[in-house]
Amino acid sequence: MDERRSRRDEVDICVIVPTIREYECLREYVANAREHGFDVSRLHFVLVTEDFCDVAEMRSMLDDLGVSGEVFDGTDREEWYEDNGVAEYSHVVPAASHAETSFGLLYMWANPRFEYGVFIDDDTLPHDDTDYFGRHMENLAFGGSVERVRSDESWVNVLYQNADDHGLYPRGYPYSAMDETVETDTVEIESGEVVASQGLWTNVPDLDAVRILMDGDLEGQAQTRTTADDFGEDFVAARGNYLTVCSMNLAFRREVIPAFYQLPMDDNEWEVGRFDDIWSGLFLKRAADVLGKRVYNGGPLCEHNKAARSTFDDLANEVAGLELNEHVWEVLDSVEPEVPRATQTAEPSEDVVADDADSFEAAFAAMADALAEGDFSEWNNGAFLNHCGEYMRDWLDCLDALNRTRALADD
């Protein structure tokens, strides 16, 4: 049987790869899947690229690998919006930005066969000794005991396990939440609670430019590196605690898409950039807490081979949003979505949430309203948060429009 024919009749995993240079990394991911016996026919690759890139070579690679997939440059994306009746919402995905991963989410939403999504950055590689896709799918199906982490700052450093030695905090971790006191215990979670699986990274840590400069590196990479020994057991952050979510190595369930929008970074008048996946992770974690769901962290590790570039260029892209990053999570944390929530107790962060609280859309809509209508003038570039709130509303409208297009197609 041709390996591209799915034993499930259709592929069910959409692998979204934003890329302008190192797309050949997919050869390693496909090889890893085959080496570990993962059913490659379940995978559909979506490469999100630009008009100036060699789209023909990318498509040729997918054919050579014998896998299902499509490549979308800027022109292709505009055609897709038109074909799917959402051209008026094309602005929700910024041009020439890592946040173009949002296009992959729209693509997934328009195709109900996809039950799961995977984000892979093109400067990563899988570890040979781990079934990369299989591990992510196991995490999403996980049920049982897992380490639970919380801190007195309501933030969990995803690199906490060896932080006493390396002292690292990841990109997006608030400076005001550093020097936290960490507590760990175990929690029982049921299969179906995990809605996202964040794999962490060896080699070049994912740091912001300020921390890279403090580490003494001018080429955007940091001199301190991580190895597999820096990571212990998998873990979840306690409810009511936030964490950085990096989209370079991440799997998720379809249901989170309404609350997982990668914001309009880089392409905005405030020049705010580099927080697209970080802030989308805040939306996801807040919604997950409200709905009684979990974000699972740890394996599968990937090798992060960030290309050398000016640390000061990254700093220029980040500085406009640094103050906002200290506060945006507080805004989201104060939102009370119009979905059932448990009565607060001595441990409010771990209450059992009502079974009928099942709307990521409702949770996200409440956060969108809070940002769109809030007064953030006390912070540098505070009006950008209002801008984000309006785009978040447009995001939900775009998903609704795709639902209508799909319904018409099914008639």
Question: Stretch 213-217: mean pLDDT, rounded?
Answer: 93
Residue 50: is its pLDDT beyond 50?
yes
Residues 198, 296: contact at Cβ < 8 Å?
yes
pLDDT given for residue 336 in this prediction: 84
Share of the chain above pLDDT 90, in %: 87
Residue 1: is its pLDDT beyond 60?
no
Short-list 208, 80, 195, 97, CA closest to 142: 195
Model confidence at 358, in pLDDT bands (50, 70, 90)? low
Residue 55: is its pLDDT beyond 70?
yes
| Higher-scoring residue by pLDDT: 287, 95 | 287
Model confidence at 342, in pLDDT bands (50, 70, 90)? very low
pLDDT given for residue 350 in this prediction: 57
pLDDT given for residue 353 in this prediction: 40
| Higher-scoring residue by pLDDT: 228, 267 | 228
Q: Residues 63-84: pLDDT tens digits?
A: 999 999 999 999 999 999 999 9
Residue 354: is its pLDDT beyond 70?
no
Q: Residues 22-39: pLDDT tens digits?
A: 999 999 999 999 999 999
Q: Residues 294-320: pLDDT tens digits?
A: 999 999 999 999 999 999 999 999 999
CB-based contacts of 269-273 (< 8 A; 24+ apart in sequence): 270/320, 270/321, 270/381, 270/383, 270/384, 270/387, 271/317, 271/320, 272/320, 272/321, 272/324, 272/381, 272/384, 273/97, 273/317, 273/318, 273/320, 273/321
Domain locations in the chain?
13-410
Residue 401: is its pLDDT beyond 50?
yes
Question: Stretch 373-384: mean pLDDT, rounded?
Answer: 98
Peptide bond into 337 cis (omega under 30): no
pLDDT given for residue 21 in this prediction: 87
SS3 per residue for the chain: CCCCCCCCCCCCEEEEEECCCCCCHHHHHHHHHHHCCCCHHHEEEEEECCCCCCHHHHHHHHHHHCCEEEEECHHHHHHHHHHCCCHHHHHHCCCCCHHHHHHHHHHHHCCCCCCEEEEECCCEEECCCCCHHHHHHHHHCCCEEEEEEEECCCEECCCHHHHHHHCCCCCCCCHHHCCCCEEEEEEEECCCCEEEEEEEEEECCCCCHHHHHHCCCCCCCCCCCECHHHCCCCEEECCCCEECCCCCEEEEEHHHHHHCCCCCCCCCCCCCCCCHHHHHHHHHHHHHHHHCCEEEEEEEEEEECCCCCCHHHHHHHHHHHHHHHHHHHHHHHCCCCCCCCCCCCCCHHHCCCCCCCCCHHHHHHHHHHHHHHCCCCCCCCCHHHHHHHHHHHHHHHHHHHHHHHHHHHHC
pLDDT given for residue 381 in this prediction: 97
